[in-house]
Amino acid sequence: MAIVTLNNGVEIPQLGFGTAAIDEWQKDNGYVTDTILKAISIGYRHFDTAAVYGNERALGRAIRDSGLPRQELFITSKVWDTEQGRGTADAFARSLERLQLEYLDLYLIHWPVPAYTRETWEVMEALYDEKKVRALGLSNFRQSDIEQIATFAEVKPTYNQIELHPYLTQKKLVDYCCFHRIAVSCWSPLGSGSWSGVETRDKPVVDPLIVELAEKHGVTAGQIILKWDIQQGRIVIPKAEKLDHIRANFLLEDFELSDAELEKIDSLNRDHRFGGDPDTAHEENRKVEVPE
């Protein structure tokens, strides 16, 4: 499995497993744990969750039941909008408790809330100094948000997790992050899941170009999109529930896309978001509570 080295020297598996809305949104049950255990059995070692997903306990149970040494796993969680600012330290402590872990590998600000960013980041820096988290990062941050952090941060962000797929390539933001040595991670890399209400026919996995390339290389459409990201140095965290999909997303070593093929996929960009827009998401996010 390919590894990306973050700007503070911490190594992260380039291919991770997304856990948002396994089963359904904010479900924390045996099915979620079993799904994560399937991923572990196939070889995934990087798992991405968030307080607001409501499934940190299920991930914690899977970590325990896997029997793997903690240091073999890379675990990411995130602080939600309603818990930012002075609530960040308590939110982090609750995430650790739910996960039954002593530390996190990566902790992210889930969405930008500029009024709270400085206070939130300074709390996160304290957690980093206390070695409760190995790396600090961002999610859904725009260039302006990253520029804000740069004015006061003692610890540089290592990572920015954004919506990125062939219909939303965010090239300018990706180039900015790469220039500043901030790793780019893609959420919903295949287009948003069933929880989002997006019809399969509208997703890039059924785009004629992607389907044509999949047939040419003898792989799935999802594998084409994930390989497109991997070959360009991006981190991907696809979510899947069926064993064959979990396995297919992991098996990306046996084919390569040419530069011309990568460029063709790049050209599919429509600046189309399936998920929330950082310009407006906070108003809706404030209405969503983190479940206990």
| Catalytic machinery residues | 53
End-to-end CA distance of the chain: 34
How far is the C-alpha of 125 from the C-alpha of 138, rounded, in Å? 13
The DSSP string of 251-281 is --TT----HHHHHHHHTT-----SS--TTTH
DSSP H helical ranges for the chain? 30-42, 56-66, 88-99, 114-129, 143-150, 171-179, 208-217, 221-231, 243-250, 259-266, 281-285
Note whether 46 and 159 are within 8 A (CB). no
How far is the C-alpha of 112 from the C-alpha of 277, rounded, in Å? 11
SS3 assignment, position 181: coil
How far is the C-alpha of 68 from the C-alpha of 13, rounded, in Å? 16
